[in-house]
């Protein structure tokens, strides 16, 4: 890769539909774009999560494609600035719309779409709601976006070959969602966690909080040199990042359990649960309230 192309990847932004996104070169051949810390319902334009691509000697793998066809097209253009090698795989780390709606930008490449064994079913189940909500959130910016389901489903573990590097994929049990998939690059040691790890942005629960805490214990045993979270900066001190996230989830779990035990209401818990974590996370007031609303009914039946 020439110095000029690298500079374009890192520095250029323009306003047309195929504009380059800003990318960090996190390791040789590893490029990460960091989405903005925006809430889905406030100023969302389909670009809030980390999206990445990896260049191997045989071809390219995409990890998450963004929240709209437009973002996927911008990602595609960035890849073509970096390499003419074929785009072999598009990997989705889970079902959330900010990670998957750029998939359609890669249909013409005949890439193999890859995801958790439960991803296709989750996409189908949420299809109508996602289409309605994303149209509401983004309006014209959502035009042309569609769900593309995985052709290669991972129930446990799988390996993808990019030539000089292999990608180790692992499906996880119910945690952040029921479709969580992690990806580790053999050459750089980089591990993509999807939304199993949030950095800076308040972790958002759409699965099982107890399962998520358990999965984090497993991630702490990783051999990774660095981790790319679903949201936030690439972290080399990933153990501390996992500790911070797990600390929030444990505090939230304990506070909601205490509220239920003491006969408190869910509405009150929305204001008080994990409140001392507020200064540690962005979008805390919005996301934490949603988390309480998500876990409170389930915990009442423990």
What does the pLDDT look like over 180-228, one tens digit per residue? 999 999 999 999 999 999 999 999 999 999 999 999 999 999 999 999 9
Report the mean per-residue pLDDT for the chain.
93
Residue 272: inside a domain: no
Which residues are CB-contacts of 139 (< 8 A; sequence separation ≥ 6)? none
Residue 232: inside a domain: yes
Residue 277: inside a domain: no
Confidence (pLDDT) at 41 = 77
Higher pLDDT, 244 or 4: 244
Residue 260: inside a domain: no
Q: What is the pTM of this model?
A: 0.93
Residue 92: inside a domain: yes
Kindly tell me if the per-residue pLDDT of 43 is higher than 90.
Answer: no
The pLDDT confidence band at residue 73, using thresholds 50, 70 and 90, is: very high
Kindly tell me if the per-residue pLDDT of 15 is higher than 70.
Answer: no
CATH classification at residue 97:
3.60.15.10
Residue 253: inside a domain: no
Confidence (pLDDT) at 19 = 56
What's the rounded Cα separation, in Å, for the pair 97 and 105? 15
Number of neighbours of residue 293 by Cβ within 10 angstroms: 14
Instruction: Give the pLDDT confidence of 76-122 residue by residue, as tens digits.
Output: 999 999 999 999 999 999 999 999 999 999 999 999 999 999 999 99
The pLDDT confidence band at residue 42, using thresholds 50, 70 and 90, is: confident
The backbone region for 10, taken as left when phi is positive above 0, alpha when psi lies in -120 to 50, beta otherwise, is alpha
Confidence (pLDDT) at 69 = 96
Phi, psi of 256 (to 5 degrees): -70, -40
Kindly tell me if the per-residue pLDDT of 254 is higher than 60.
Answer: yes
Query: pLDDT > 90: what percent of the chain?
Result: 87
CB 224 within 8 A of CB 203: no
| 172 CA to centre of own chain | 14
Nearest Cα to Cα of residue 51 among 28, 86, 22: 22
205 lies in which domain range? 3-248
CB 69 within 8 A of CB 101: yes
Please count the structural domains in the chain: 1
Provide the token pair at 188: 């750089």
Kindly tell me if the per-residue pLDDT of 7 is higher than 60.
Answer: no
Instruction: Give the pLDDT confidence of 136-162 residue by residue, as tens digits.
Output: 999 888 888 999 999 999 999 999 999
Q: Which of 17-26, 108-117, 125-134 has the lowest mean pLDDT?
A: 17-26
Kindly tell me if the per-residue pLDDT of 18 is higher than 50.
Answer: no
Kindly tell me if the per-residue pLDDT of 125 is higher than 50.
Answer: yes
Residue 77: inside a domain: yes
Confidence (pLDDT) at 6 = 42
Residue 262: inside a domain: no
């Amino acid at each position: 890769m020439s110095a000029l192309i690298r500079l374009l990847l890192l520095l250029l932004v323009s306003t047309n539909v195929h504009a380059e996104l800003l990318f960090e070169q996190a390791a040789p051949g590893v490029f990460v774009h960091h989405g903005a810390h925006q809430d889905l319902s406030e100023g969302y334009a389909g670009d809030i999560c980390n999206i990445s691509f990896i260049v191997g000697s045989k071809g390219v793998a995409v990890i998450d494609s963004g929240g709209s066809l437009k973002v996927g097209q911008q990602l595609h253009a960035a890849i073509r600035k970096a390499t003419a090698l074929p785009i072999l795989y598009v990997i989705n780390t889970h079902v959330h719309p900010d990670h998957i709606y750029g998939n359609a930008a890669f249909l013409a490449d005949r890439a193999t779409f890859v995801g958790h064994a439960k991803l296709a079913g989750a996409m189908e189940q949420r299809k109508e709601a996602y289409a309605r909500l994303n149209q509401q959130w983004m309006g014209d910016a959502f035009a042309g976006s569609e769900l593309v389901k995985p052709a290669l489903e991972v129930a446990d573990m799988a390996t993808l070959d990019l030539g000089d590097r292999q990608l180790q994929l692992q499906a996880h049990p119910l945690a952040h969602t029921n479709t969580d998939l992690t990806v580790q690059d053999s050459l750089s040691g980089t591990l993509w966690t999807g939304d199993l790890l949030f950095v800076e942005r308040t972790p958002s629960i759409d699965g099982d909080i107890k399962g998520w805490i358990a999965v984090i214990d497993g991630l702490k045993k990783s051999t990774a040199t660095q981790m790319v979270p679903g949201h936030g900066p690439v972290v080399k001190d990933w153990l501390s990042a996992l500790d911070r996230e797990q600390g929030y989830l444990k505090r939230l779990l304990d506070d909601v359990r205490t509220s239920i035990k003491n006969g408190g209401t869910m509405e009150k818990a929305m204001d008080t649960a994990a409140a001392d974590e507020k200064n540690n996370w962005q979008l805390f007031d919005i996301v934490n309230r949603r988390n309480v609303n998500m876990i409170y009914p389930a915990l009442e039946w423990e």
